Structure 1
Amino acid sequence: MPVVSLIVPVYNVENYLSSCVDSILAQTCTDFECILVDDGSQDGSARLCDAYASRDARIRVVHQANAGVSSARNAGIQVARGEWVTFVDADDCIHPEYLQLLLTAAETHNAQMACCSHQEIAEDAPLEDKGHSGTAWVLSGAQAVTEHYQHSRFPFTVWGKLYARSLMEYVRFPDGLNHEDEFFNNHVLLFCSTVVLITESLYGYRLRQNSFMRTTFSKNRLDIFTVNHDAFMFFKEQGLLEVLPFVAKEFWRRFHHYGRRAVKQHCLTPAWERQLLSYCHDLLNAHFPPKHPLIHIFVRLFVSPHGRPIFYWFYSKL
């Protein structure tokens, strides 16, 4: 069995896929399998996946009808045989020592998750070798959650991370939901006794103009509220009470930032508004007694042109 399973969801990335797969095949750690999950690509990506698999036995291909990145990653997890799992987006690339350095960090610190830094690269630019510092930051999974929501110092992407395969027994990516990385990490981290973050920039995140995070605001961005609300309720259920104020505060920041944009761009349907108000009531009930009159007032401030200073005053007090 391979030591590491690299899972690469593939959808219409014909122009970038070779760069990605070539960077995987160039790894100094050679004991791996690369699982390319073709998510119903309509360009030449599927043929390219099969061509790579025919040339290297470490590459396996899964073909499926288009179902989204979460479904593709889940399909990869389902067939993964490695002791460790890492996710690479098909338009990105990794440093030749990506696997080796993450494995060494995980084994040295007996961690269930190892993370590295990343560098942003232009569409046609290569990944730079910025050297190795050997510096590591070791913390528990619960501390990593707190660092993310309180200080934004722990990244919640799934790329740039090495996960113990055993963690996949507890959670999968949510089908049909954007911001799936945050959902996945929220649930996985609580099963990690130790997490290690190394400072080396081993992952190349490619900046593409048509990627989801760089496109114009749409109603799909509102999924962040579902993910944020799920985090609050999950951590409350698991007894991680110390992080709840920070999760709630991040919800209000997003509420004002995305909520106002949703209203201005007419993305907030009546159904979404009802759902959003329900989330707000759940989180506000953690700060006020149930049915407190301030709850109803506060959840509607973001639609008012005069609500911004009042909102930020309240936000600063949380």
Structure 2
Amino acid sequence: MSTFVHQPDVSFVIAAYNAEDTIERAIASALAQIGVTMEVIVIDDCSTDGTRERVRALADDRVRLIVQERNGGPAVARNAGLLVARGRWIAILDADDTVYPARLLMMLERAEAAEAQIVVDNIDVIPIEGGKPQTMFPREELTRRPLMTLADFIGSNVIFRSTFNFGYMKPVYERDFLERHGLLFDETLRIGEDYLLLASALASGGECAIMPDVGYVYHLRQGSISRVLEQHHLDAMLASDRAFLSRYTLDEKAMAAQRRRTRSLVEAGAFLTLVEDIKKGSVRGFLKTAIGNPRALRHLRMPIAVRMRRLLGNGWRQLKSDRIGRGRPRERTKEWI
């Protein structure tokens, strides 16, 4: 490991793309941390607005700006930051989010007390329209979990299971641990790269401590990439999960959780196909997808379900008959409507 005369406790890594409206707020929250020393590394991913100019205008030698030659997405940008980070710990901060002043002090104390190489905390969510934040996870739930296991983490990341899961958490990593195990963000992913890095760190033997207090603030906004799921994202996640399984050996509980996650990703793909079939008015396509993966029907909700019934007419009733004929009890069809 390289040593530095003035090695900071924490390196904040902020990937930014067209973030001129929020980047100063994010950086200010990082610099406001109490009880720890830090550096802030901003990686501009070829912004076309004033992001770079806003960062350059900050008169603080703790802030460094890296300008990418071409747009590569959040994983590529974050990796560029990881490769130059000097801190003992790495904290990922999104360009439109913020952190509370005592976050890193509390997290590092929790990690060191647990002799952990990773630590996560609770999250406040600011609604799109602004207003009072909503805490993502009940504090009592996290208090009962002093450590997060790989099975816990994978099991929480099942599509459609809940509004929020542990994949939304923003881990702080011991930099030496990441370097020893060659861990970086998967650059083939634009959604789910955070999930894969933490799963890989846990599978590499990392201990992950949980701090139940809120330290990270997630600002919801229109068009956030993490809230728009498309088929190519699911395909990429399935591919990265296969690579993950080829690299690591999972215990029985983690493997069972992984099977549930894989089923949910396949199911989510079928659901997206159903929605597209409805939009296109394709009865044949809808029936083919629904019969091939009937579990996806559970996720259709109003008003899409109304459009579906109007579109299908007799085909909807035939679909229910086919479902019953495959050995499902008749009363189960009520859940689809």
TM bucket by the smaller chain?
0.7 to 0.9
1:184 is displaced (CA, Å) by 1.1
Q: Does 1:98 align with 2:80?
A: no
Match of 1:274 in 2: none
Matches of 1:176 and 1:137, distance apart in 2: 32
Given the alignment, which residue of 76, 85, 88 partners 1:71?
76
Report the equivalent of 1:245. Answer: 256
Q: Partner of 1:137: helix, strand, or coil?
A: coil
Within 5 Å, give how 1:229-244 maps onto structure 2: 229-235=242-248, 238-244=249-255
Residues 73-125 of structure 1: per-residue CA shift (max 9 Å, x gap): 00000100111101000000000111111111111111101110101113474
Q: Report the CA distance shift for 1:123/1:20 in structure 2 as closer, same or farther (over 3 A).
A: farther
Q: Is the 8 A contact 1:136 1:199 kept in 2?
A: no
- How many angstroms apart in 2 are the aligned matches of 1:227 and 1:311? 34
Q: Give 1:135 deviation, angstroms.
A: 4.6
Residue in 2 that maps onto 1:57: 61
Any residues of structure 2 matched to 1:109-120 within 5 Å, and which? 109-120=114-125
Q: Supply the distance in 2 between the matched residues of 1:87 and 1:136 (Cα, whole angstroms).
A: 25
1:26 CA drift (Å): 1.3
Q: Deviations over 1:210-251 (max 9, x none)?
A: 11132364533432222333344334xx25344212201221
Q: Tell me what 2:292 maps to.
A: 301
Secondary structure of the residue aligned to 2:246 is: helix
Percent identity (aligned): 24
TM-score normalized by structure 2?
0.71
Aligned twin of 1:108? 113
TM-superposed deviation, 1:12:
0.6
- State the partner residue of 1:36: 42
* Equivalent residue number for residue 316 of structure 2: none
CA separation of 1:265 and 1:31: change in aligned 2, threshold 3 A: same
- Residue identity opposite 2:260 in structure 1: K
- Does the CA contact (< 8 Å) of 2:124 and 2:134 recur in 1? no
| In the alignment, structure 1 residue 162 sits paired with structure 2 residue 211 | no
Q: SS at the partner of 1:265? A: helix
Judged with a 3 Å threshold, the aligned counterparts in structure 2 of structure 1 residues 203 and 136 are, in CA distance, closer, same or farther, namely farther
What letter is aligned with 1:252?
R
Aligned twin of 1:47: 53
Q: Which moved more, 1:162-171 or 1:96-105?
A: 162-171
Q: What does residue 18 of structure 1 align with?
A: 24
Q: Does the CA-based 8 Å contact 1:301-1:311 persist in structure 2?
A: no
Q: 1:101 to 1:42 in 2, by over 3 A?
A: same
1:197 aligns with 2:210: yes
What is the root-mean-square deviation of aligned Cα atoms in Å?
A: 3.3
Displacement after TM superposition at 1:168 (Å):
2.0
Q: Aligned pairs, how many?
A: 273
Equivalent residue letter for 2:127: A
Deviations 1:180-215 (A, max 9, x none): 112111211123442210111110111011111323
Alpha-carbon contact 2:89-2:175 (below 8 Å) kept:
yes
Native 8 Å contact 1:39 1:68 kept in 2: yes
Rounded Cα–Cα distance in structure 1 between residues aligned with 2:134 and 2:266: 39
Cα 1:93–1:312 shift into 2, 3 Å: farther
Q: Report the TM-score, using the length of structure 1 for normalisation.
A: 0.75
Closer, same or farther: CA 220–195 of 1 in aligned 2, 3 Å: closer
Change (3 A) 1:129 1:156: closer
CA contact (8 A) 1:5 1:86 kept: yes
Following the alignment from structure 1 to structure 2, what is the Cα–Cα distance between the partners of residues 85 and 308? 50
Larger gyration radius, structure 1 or structure 2: 2
Q: Quick one: distance in 1 between partners of 2:323 and 2:25?
A: 45
Q: Select the residue among 65, 79, 85 that pairs with 1:80.
A: 85
Q: Given the alignment of the two structures, is residue 137 of structure 1 paired with residue 145 of structure 2, yes or no? A: yes
Shift of 1:263: 5.6
Selected match of 2:220 from 176, 193, 207: 207
> What amino acid maps onto 2:18 in structure 1?
N
Quick check: 1:8–1:34 contact (8 Å CA) kept in 2? yes
Question: In 2 relative to 1, CA 191–220 (structure 1 residues): closer, same or farther, beyond 3 Å?
Answer: closer
Query: Cα distance 1:312–1:180, how it changes in 2: closer, same or farther (>3 A)?
Result: farther
Asked whether the 8 Å contact 1:302–1:308 carries over to 2, the reply is no
